Structure 1
Amino acid sequence: MTREVVLDTETTGMNPLQGDRIVEIGALELLNHMPTGRTYHVYLNPDRDMPDGAFRVHGLSAEFLADKPRFHDIADEFLAFVAEATLVIHNADFDMGFLNAELGRIGRDPLPMERAVDTVRMARRKYPGAPASLDALCRRFGIDNAHRTLHGALLDSELLAEVYLQLIGGREPGFRLVGDAGGAGAADDAGAVPVARPDRAPRPHAATAAELEAHAAFLARLKDPIWTRGEA
């Protein structure tokens, strides 16, 4: 069984090495590429101010976050939720960089980058030259994101899960009309109900007398038609 966690973060800025911090984490679980309904969501107190540029992106103010837990308070429950799952992230370098910076501050091991699947890279490989933002991919796949007026980690994870499933081939990427014997589709084929169809008599295709007469008249107007060559 394949377990994946679609994940997103919101932050105070762009660079965790220059003091920017995570202020929101949202994640949801996929099993065999299907959502299970299990989610993880938390707001975090960054112990610093909120720059105007970041506030305009996600709308999370320092005042709102003041009574929220710190990352060290939730690290164990977050790591328990992601466990050993593959992490599906839009622009994985950004979010993994922030998560590992937070883990490093509290002396915890980093999350290996090889665990991350970057949907930005997937989209750029599949649609070279096309926009690869989350909004652009929602438009491409007809995913309703009208309620996304601001970035939000859990909402963006939910949208990203839909985008990811489209990028890998739809909600059932391994779906086959006919399963191989003993393969993934064999159980479905075994329960198929045969449909009885009555035999149908073949339709006549021989030319009628009128059609033959019309054809002969047409040939008479042609000079040396190929249809009459070789006739005695």
Structure 2
Amino acid sequence: MREIVFDTETTGLSPAGGDRMVEIGCVELIGRVETGRTFHAYFNPERSMPSEAEAVHGLSEKFLSGQPLFRDKVEELLEFIGGDPLVAHNASFDFGFLNNELGLCAREAVCMSRMVDTLVIARGKFPGAKHSLDALCGRFGVDRSARVKHGALLDAELLAQVYIELTGGRQIGLGLDPAEIASEAAPIAVAVAAPEPARAARPPRPHAPTEQEAEAHRNFIAKMADPLWNSVGVTS
């Protein structure tokens, strides 16, 4: 199954209030395995960049003014994501901004039934724990040392690793061959060893001493001076 893990960066928290998406990063998974295919783009939001938002992702108004508009990259983005499930952390936020941008260029919104929210999955698996992307990376041992600031592609790559761990770990698939992936999901046949052939019973071995051995033992005992068993009333 093909899935797209994605993340966005924005000018703020509310597309209804005029905030815009300024970056998107997408990572392709097939059979819960990263294929190495990604999509990444910055967008000119055609508005100012609040200092609070810039402090989060480091994308300045000056930098973004030289980037393409969303409508100039929309075809490439839609071709990459196709009709497959879209995985995001706090996915309603990212879906809201993606669909807002699609609406602004008269494109059909992405159906919410395609949404897979890793935040919901994490809350179900680890109730009461911290569920931020940083916290989940720490829980699963995902290296986040390069995450100095938020970045859509880097965060999508980290989230892809977290999602794989949340849904079963790396053992799900070790290759990209669909037949191999399908075989890993199939029931495992358990080999049962054939019973060993019955062995003929061996005749019992004699353990009683011979008369010669018994006599030798009595002679040896007779030579012992003041044996211990005589002091407790034990005789040979």
Provide the secondary structure at the position in 2 that maps to 1:104: helix
Q: Which residue of 2 aligns with 1:201?
A: none
Q: Which residue of 2 aligns with 1:118?
A: 117
Alignment partners' CA distance in 2, 1:186 and 1:6: 22
Provide the secondary structure at the position in 2 that maps to 1:17: coil
Provide the secondary structure at the position in 2 that maps to 1:110: coil
How many pairs were matched up? 184
Contact 2:9–2:57 (CA<8 Å) still a contact in 1? Answer: yes
Q: Which residue of 2 aligns with 1:161?
A: 160
Provide the secondary structure at the position in 1 that maps to 2:168: coil
Establish whether residue 131 from structure 1 lines up as the match of residue 130 from structure 2.
Answer: yes
Is the alpha carbon distance of 1:186 and 1:70 closer, same or farther for their aligned partners in structure 2, counting shifts above 3 Å?
closer
Alignment partners' CA distance in 1, 2:113 and 2:132: 22
Q: CA deviation at 1:186?
A: 9.6
Alignment partners' CA distance in 1, 2:15 and 2:43: 15
Aligned residue type for 1:9: T
Alignment partners' CA distance in 2, 1:135 and 1:3: 25
Q: CA deviation at 1:171?
A: 1.4
The superposition leaves residues 76-109 of structure 1 with CA deviations (integer Å, 9 ceiling, x where unpaired) of 1100000011101011100000000111111111
Alignment partners' CA distance in 1, 2:185 and 2:30: 21
Q: Which residue of 1 aligns with 2:151?
A: 152
Provide the secondary structure at the position in 1 that maps to 2:148: coil
Alignment partners' CA distance in 2, 1:142 and 1:71: 35
- So what's the TM-score if we normalise by structure 1? 0.75
Q: CA deviation at 1:57?
A: 0.4
Q: CA deviation at 1:184?
A: 2.1
Q: CA deviation at 1:172?
A: 2.4
Alignment partners' CA distance in 1, 2:124 and 2:173: 20
Aligned residue type for 1:162: Q
The superposition leaves residues 47-90 of structure 1 with CA deviations (integer Å, 9 ceiling, x where unpaired) of 01100110010000000011100011011110000001110101
Q: Which residue of 1 aligns with 2:101?
A: 102
Q: Which residue of 1 aligns with 2:58?
A: 59
Provide the secondary structure at the position in 2 that maps to 1:18: coil
Q: CA deviation at 1:146?
A: 1.3
The superposition leaves residues 15-64 of structure 1 with CA deviations (integer Å, 9 ceiling, x where unpaired) of 00111000000001001110111000000000011001100100000000
CA RMSD of aligned residues (A): 2.2
Q: Which runs of 4+ in 1 moved over 4 A?
A: none
**Percent identical residues:** 56
Moved more, 166-175 or 136-145: 166-175
Q: Which runs of 5+ in 2 are unaligned?
A: 175-181, 194-236
Establish whether residue 3 from structure 1 lines up as the match of residue 2 from structure 2.
Answer: yes
Q: Which residue of 1 aligns with 2:28?
A: 29
Establish whether residue 88 from structure 1 lines up as the match of residue 81 from structure 2.
Answer: no
Aligned residue type for 1:4: E
Alignment partners' CA distance in 2, 1:186 and 1:137: 26
Alignment partners' CA distance in 1, 2:47 and 2:26: 24
Alignment partners' CA distance in 2, 1:78 and 1:186: 31
Aligned residue type for 1:116: M
Provide the secondary structure at the position in 2 that maps to 1:26: strand
Q: CA deviation at 1:173?
A: 3.0
Alignment partners' CA distance in 2, 1:114 and 1:64: 35
Provide the secondary structure at the position in 2 that maps to 1:8: strand
Q: Which runs of 5+ in 1 are unaligned?
A: 176-182, 195-232
Alignment partners' CA distance in 1, 2:172 and 2:30: 13
Aligned residue type for 2:21: I
Is the alpha carbon distance of 1:186 and 1:12 closer, same or farther for their aligned partners in structure 2, counting shifts above 3 Å?
closer
Provide the secondary structure at the position in 2 that maps to 1:132: coil
